[in-house]
A and B are shown apart, each in its own frame.
Chain A
């Protein structure tokens, strides 16, 4: 890459790599598209112009080479796939050994349950920083059965975890279409137009209320934002693990959302107290006093109960829509839910 850059005219580099020009505009040089190589070009600029850029000639050259290398790296597929992630137990807040190994495979949903303050976020943080016995819990995280290489551990390019937090604010002053295109560009996606369309379509299937490509991201409702983020993470993010803080019921088809992530071979970790979400998991991990105290596989009876709960949930949604459309709930709700009267 270094030789290519030093020996090629900038105009040529810009033609082959559309993002290269960005580098120069970001240091304040707007007219770098010339028939000269970078070194020769920088020599045509006077010193006061470079002072304004905030970098010396050699710094600009070495930064540009690194920039091009990093961008090229982003285009490459990750160099290995994750077939299994394991969290080997450390100890809880009182120092008692956890004695548990939590293994997770792509396409699995694992819910995390436990009282507030019990250590759920600590577990998520351990996974996020790929703990190697060096966090307060003493846990180890293994990828495909092995400790991850040190340089992989702390690099943004290799982040294993995409986090869908409860905060879903957008601050950028962009439309949905522009925003998704910007994100796709930063991911070096090959066919931006196609991926943008797919994500928007997918998000609209998850959201209760529809939005268009021209809707401003700041104007999306809570449910629409969540739907957009879930679709975006499933289709554009390379991180194999998705951390979710509780998906609220409002405005997002939660079942479809999880199905989408699972279909994309994500490992979904979800902190939740919602019985429907918790039972949707293949297993759930119980956190107590800062430690993993139990792993419960979702049983057959639980699965049957899940169907019933989902059926009731769908009924609640129907009631909600009825209210939304100005209707009344003045019929026999017991019959509606197919329940024995409890009063």
Chain B
């Protein structure tokens, strides 16, 4: 079974890109399923269901979405095997721009949109920098030159990635992406595999439910900003 992790900032167009791309894959009698990870709520599962794809939703609630993802991903693979899927796509939002569900030896896709500003590729962390494929969306809304500049900035941030444009409305470019996804490595199980980069460190009193402000209430892994120069 091919397993692909797709991530990207909220509203960058992940679901539309996945739907358009899967249309191109499905025509060849491949069985495809999706696991949608989100924080508080999601409606995307309805879109997938409407398109006829089996879908599971995972909501992390008040847990770190990345930690939630990685502690559930094996069960997703099991589910996909039971469903006899040929392709499993996991979709998750990189909510802090650093989160990256990317796993070594598992095809990793990052979706990012042109409208998010030309410096965004620099601001996004491992989710973009360590992805195998970067999909740029909403390119039809901006000029050819802006598309090119944006693409260049993505290339600077991740020179290794295959970069491609997909129009989530018309599906232009989804074919190219489908070709790439079909070449994803076969994944049997994830035991012993590694994340491409460590998750954000999260181990202070606020992680554990502290809500009060003040030095006395801060314990654990803390980092303070430097205001020395302001004296």
Contact = CB atoms under 8 A, between A and B. Distances in A.
Q: Is A bound to B?
A: yes
A188 to B, nearest CB: 9
B163 A22 contact: no
A103 interface: no
Output the residue of A63, A129, A155, A171 with the most chain B CB within 10 A: A171
Contacts, number: 107
A252 B172 CA distance: 28
B144 interface: yes
A236 B198 CA distance: 41
Contacts of A54: 98, 125-126, 129-130, 197
Given A22-B156, A156-B151, A156-B155, A168 B143 contact: yes
B146 A171 contact: yes
Interface string B120-146: 011001100110000000001111111
A42 to B, nearest CB: 15
Contacts of A134: 175, 179
B148 interface: yes
Given A51-B198, A172-B118, A186-B152, A63 B160 contact: yes
A74 to B, nearest CB: 8
B157 A26 contact: yes
Contact of B142 (A63, A128, A129, A171): A171
A162 B144 contact: yes
B206 interface: no
Nearest to A66: B159
B143 A154 contact: no
A154 B134 CA distance: 13
A224 B157 CA distance: 32
A111 interface: no
A129 B173 CA distance: 7
A164 B141 CA distance: 11
Interface in A175-192: 179-180, 182-183, 186-187
Nearest to B198: A51
Contact of A165 (B140, B148, B160, B175): B140
Given A67-B159, A70-B159, A170 B149 contact: no
B163 A25 contact: no
Interface in B60-88: none
Contact of B130 (A59, A168, A229): A59
A67 B144 contact: no
Contact of A170 (B130, B143, B155, B170): B143
Contacts of B156: 19, 22-23, 26, 67
B129 A27 contact: yes
A232 B146 CA distance: 11
B129 A154 contact: no
A71 to B, nearest CB: 8
A272 interface: no
Contact of B159 (A25, A69, A183): A69
Interface string B172-197: 11011001100000000000000001
A128 B147 CA distance: 15
B144 A232 contact: yes
Contacts of A23: 156
Given A154-B180, A167-B141, A187 B148 contact: yes
Interface string A51-89: 100111001001100110110000000000000000000
Contacts of A66: 159-160
B144 to A, nearest CB: 5
B189 to A, nearest CB: 25
Contact of A229 (B115, B125, B143, B159): B143
Contacts of A187: 148
Interface string A206-226: 000000000000000000010
Contacts of A155: 162
Contacts of B115: 171
A179 B142 CA distance: 13
Nearest to A162: B144
B175 A135 contact: yes
11 contacts: A51-B201, A55-B130, A67-B156, A70-B159, A129-B173, A129-B176, A167-B140, A171-B114, A171-B141, A171-B142, A229-B145
Interface of B: 98, 114-115, 117-118, 121-122, 125-126, 129-130, 140-146, 148-149, 151-153, 155-160, 162-164, 170, 172-173, 175-176, 179-180, 197-198, 201, 223
- Nearest first, the 4 closest Cβ-Cβ pairs linking A and B are A186-B152, A54-B125, A66-B159, A67-B159
Interface of A: 19, 22-23, 25-27, 48, 51, 54-56, 59, 62-63, 66-67, 69-70, 121, 125, 128-129, 134-135, 154-156, 162-165, 167-172, 179-180, 182-183, 186-187, 225, 229, 232-233, 236-237
Given A63-B158, A134-B179, 9 more contacts: A23-B156, A25-B122, A26-B156, A48-B223, A59-B197, A66-B160, A156-B163, A187-B148, A229-B145
